[in-house]
Amino acid sequence: MEHQDLLQTFAEVAVAFAGFSAVVSVFDRRTEADDPRVRHYRIRVMVEYSLCVSIFSFVPYLLNALFASEAIAWRAASALLAISWSAVGLTASRRARQIFGRSAFSVAPAFSAIATLLGYSGAAILLCNAAGLSLRSPGVSYIVGLFFPLLQSALYFLRIVVHGDPLKRPAA
């Protein structure tokens, strides 16, 4: 199966994001005014996207072992990734509404717009690939589609490292 090295690299980068975020959260020196729920939300979402990338870096190989055709394995993996990734995104959105008490768009509009654009773009590429409408080949389309949740993970990682926290706890 082609693209093995690139998929393995994606998995390694995703695991690195999760590992570095753990290190950042351990050595974090935030003030008491920072809301820990926001920090925990960002770390959790970033780890969920990283896990999605890590797991789906290996799914095409498993499906290739089950199916005779490599193209069918790439397309089935695309459909499964689009469904799983959408579930992660919808769950994160619901969780953000619970934490912030309103839409994440009203809290951080630029960040939310970029994350949402990445989500819809990647899901569209994956769904087109699953339907047989590939960019170049089903493998290339899958790689491009898998890159989008990796970008979302990187976006949340940068948000964690940069300490962009729009919500502060009220002073007591």
* C-alpha to C-alpha distance for 147 and 7, rounded to whole angstroms: 10
Query: Tens-digit pLDDT profile for the chain (172 aa)?
Result: 678 898 999 999 999 988 887 777 777 666 555 677 887 888 888 889 999 999 999 999 999 998 878 999 999 999 999 999 999 988 988 888 888 887 777 777 888 888 889 889 999 999 999 999 887 889 999 999 999 999 998 988 888 777 655 444 444 4
Q: With contact defined as beta carbons under 8 Å apart, do 101 and 52 qualify? A: no
Q: End-to-end distance of the chain based on CA atoms, in angstroms?
A: 59
